[in-house]
Amino acid sequence: MSKKRADLDSPWKKILRQYFPEAIHFFFPLVAQVIDWEKPYEFLDKEFQQIAPDAEQGKRYADKLVKVRLKSGKATYLLVHVEIQAQKEDEFAERMLTYSIRIFDRFQTLATSLAILCDENSAWRPQACVLERPATRL
């Protein structure tokens, strides 16, 4: 991990841990509306590190993985993967897809992948990552 990357991400990680509900309400109000904030939420950093052992190689990190409960009252839960991105990265969408697949494999549920882009390049916005083969599209 480069020192510059660590310096940019560290304050965001602290904010997300300390002010998680407020951060979700501020950055992702539609997502915040479906979460039951009366129920406890749980940071799954260690569990995610187990399913993504290469997360410290190169620019492949996941910042926070949090288990929350939905307002629907269902016994299921929503995994919210929050990724802080402070600079343009060509493989960003692919990396988010990779983490989503690993989360699905580990927890057998689809994660909601959220990104907070705090770079200064307003013209750069990650696009969807689509993988295609004959008769297969992800």
In the chain, where the domains are located: 3-137
Strand extents, DSSP E, the chain: 42-43, 64-69, 77-85, 111-117, 132-133, 136-137
Tokens encoding 49: 């590190």
Question: Is this model's pTM higher than 0.85 or not?
Answer: no
Tell me the CA distances in angstroms from 101 to 1, 76, 96, 98, 106, one per residue in order: 23, 18, 9, 5, 9
Q: What are phi and psi of 62, to 5 degrees?
A: -120, 130
Coil, helix or strand at residue 67: strand
Per-residue pLDDT tens, the chain, 138 aa: give them. Answer: 445 544 556 677 788 889 999 999 999 999 999 999 999 999 888 887 787 665 554 444 557 889 998 898 765 576 677 777 778 888 888 888 888 888 888 888 888 888 888 878 888 888 888 889 999 998
Judge: domain 3-137, CATH 1.10.132: no
Tokens encoding 53: 């052992």
Distance CA 62, CA 83 (A): 6
